[in-house]
Structure 1
């Protein structure tokens, strides 16, 4: 069979045999598992993962054996990955959010009324008592009957000044409740290029497994992430607790892999 008619997997296998290398030796040099090397030679793409992983591993393999890298892009027809629809784990329906906001407002109104109404009633009762007492005292000084018009009592001059001063209203101050602040993010992953991601929770359940487009970002709170696998390492940026991380210790074959320990620190994955 002419070499141009062979698949890329067979061409890599023949090049490996000519170089006198075993699949385990190639895996050691490329820091890839042996079963991935064998799957590349069989062109069994389903056992490897996303297209971005497959093309990157094929380029590394071809470069090691001296096979032209351009042949990889021309020979491989990898089906495009379909991005999965993400549903946030902390999603709250809009109706529920509106109900909670309405309930909080009602509680605030009830608390305000419970405090303000008794204060207002007590203040008004106190003022009415003071006004009646001052009016009676003024009428007695002028020998006027209590039922006389209030305007006549004002002719007393200086005697009416304390009554006017005593009528200053008392204002009850109700301090509004401070707004609740959202918790600070623990882990932020930004993508400047196309990247395949697989994110799992501490209990092993898959949070996201999809092909992420450039310009997207993922933000997680403490305890949400247990393990992360991020393809196309050069296009990935990770901020942990507000600090930009050096991803060099976590990169293997152009893939970022790390786990989040119980104390929140990032640890590299052995394989």
Structure 2
């Protein structure tokens, strides 16, 4: 018996790739015939809005032949692609159409399909959790070391001793008052003069105040002003330093100390009582004629 012959495909002489490309071209042609063209969409929208070609010319300022060419898909008679896209965009805006699909359907248009990439976050695993724990522990250890170093540096920095003076109540009570100081200075100066006249001084044994220091100490004095009415007062000392410059309320007192001579300007002087070294000073002789302001200078 002869073996049965295997069924083999008939050789038509046409490559399979050519057949496949021909099939794709036919499918594309069918799809292209099924979808309306750019011109057809524009014409249909214009007619549905009840507009004529002349109405469109008036609105978008294009020539009638350009409108007719757009609706007939005769793009070869129109200007280059940039102007053509502008014509289609203006026409679509007038007809209240979305211009982007029409621009994508023009000849030579490149359609870019935007694919949004989905970024998937990796699920936490045991390895990533362990790594996060290690990072947290490392950060905590670093902070602890920094705190310890700072504390050690603070402890190693030498502290500057602060001098303190402890005075008992009896010592404070025994301190001389200003009047007593003046009396003691005068007596000490007289004693020093007597000792110097009787015997020569070999070496200074104690600190002796000079005559200028004594004079300066004696010129320090106090002023006291008592106000029966609201009054403004300005007081300056020998150097021109302002000791007081303020408005004083009725019934208040103002006390200042400084180096004479004093220069004062006192408002409402008739209602002010001035005491210099607790001795009253008559301000009536210092008041200017026609005003109640006294300008006083006390030596």
Give the TM-score of the pair, scaled to structure 1.
Answer: 0.30
Taking CA–CA contacts closer than 8 Å with sequence separation of 6 or more, which of the two structures ends up with the larger relative contact order?
1
Larger of the two Rg values belongs to structure: 2
Give the TM-score of the pair, scaled to structure 2.
Answer: 0.28
